[in-house]
Amino acid sequence: MNAIHVNNSDNVGTALTTLNKGDKALGVVIKENISKGHKFATEEILKGQPIIKYGAHIGLANRNIKPGEWVHIHNIDGERGRGDIDSETKEISQNGIRDHVILNNKKNYVLSGFRRPDGSFGLRNHVLIIPSVHCANKVVERIANEIKYGSVEMRPDSKVVFFNHQHGCSELSYDASQTQDVLVGSGTNPNVYSVLVVGLGCEVVQAKSIAEQIKKYTPYKKVEYFNIQESGGVTESVKKGVTIVKNMLDEALLVERSEGCLADIVLGTECGGSDSFSGLSANPSLGAASDIVVGHGGKVVLAETTELIGAEHILAERAINSDVKKQILDTIKGFEQTVIDSHADIRGANPSPGNIEGGLSSIEEKSLGCIYKAGNTSVNSVIDYAKPITATGLTFMNTPGNDIEQLSGMAAGGCNIVVFTTGRGTPTGSPIVPTIKVSSNTDTYVNMNDSIDLDAGVVVSGDKTIQEMGEEIIDFIVEVGNGRETKAELNEQNDFSIWRLATTV
> Residue 27 carries which side chain, given as an amino acid letter?
G
pLDDT band at residue 103, thresholds of 50, 70 and 90?
Answer: confident
Question: What pLDDT does 504 receive?
Answer: 80
Using CB atoms within 10 A of its CB, is residue 318 exposed (0-12), middle (13-18) or buried (19+)? buried
Whole-angstrom distance, CA of residue 33 vs CA of residue 20: 4
Q: Residue 488: which of 419, 439, 418, 430 has the closest Cα?
A: 430
**Span 163-213, pLDDT tens digits:** 999 999 999 999 999 999 999 999 999 999 999 999 999 999 999 999 999
Q: What's the pLDDT score for residue 444? A: 98
Q: What residue ranges in 384-499 does DSSP mark as E strands?
A: 393-397, 417-422, 435-439, 454-455
Q: Is residue 162 helix, strand or coil? A: strand
Would you state the pLDDT for residue 98? 81
Q: Where are the domains of the chain?
A: 3-77, 126-254, 261-490
**Which residues fall within 8 angstroms of residue 149, CB to CB, at 6 or more apart?**
none
Architecture of 3-77 per CATH?
A: Roll (2.30)
CB 2 within 8 A of CB 20: no
Question: For residues 338 and 478, what is the distance between their CA atoms, to the nearest angstrom?
Answer: 40
Average pLDDT, the chain: 96
Tell me whether domains 3-77 and 126-254 share a fold.
no
Please tell me the predicted confidence (pLDDT) of residue 197. Answer: 98
Q: At 114, give phi and psi (nearest 5°).
A: -125, 105
Q: What DSSP line would sit under 254-298, residue for residue? A: TPPPEEE-GGG-EEEEEE-S--TTIIIIIHHHHHHHHHHHHHTT-
126-254 in CATH: which number? 3.40.50.2300
Q: What is the pTM of this model?
A: 0.96
Report pLDDT digits (tens) over 113-129.
999 999 999 999 999 99
Q: How far apart are CA 308 and CA 244, in angstroms?
A: 44
Question: Per-residue pLDDT tens for 407-442?
Answer: 999 999 999 999 999 999 999 999 999 999 999 999
Residue 286 has pLDDT above 80, yes or no: yes
Region label for 6, one of left (φ > 0), alpha (ψ between -120 and 50) or beta (otherwise): alpha
pLDDT tens-digit series, residues 393-415 = 999 999 999 999 999 999 999 99
Mean pLDDT of 23-47: 98
Structural contact between residues 298 and 262, judged by C-beta atoms closer than 8 angstroms: yes
* Residue 151 pLDDT > 90: no
Question: What is the pLDDT confidence band of residue 463, given thresholds at 50, 70 and 90?
Answer: very high
The pair phi, psi for residue 378, each rounded to 5°, is -70, 150
User: What's the pLDDT score for residue 99?
Assistant: 74
Helix, strand, coil in percent for the chain, rounding step 5: 35, 20, 45
The Cα 3–Cα 44 span in angstroms is: 18
- Helix H or strand E segment including 14: strand 12-15
Task: Average the pLDDT over 464-486 and give the result.
Answer: 97
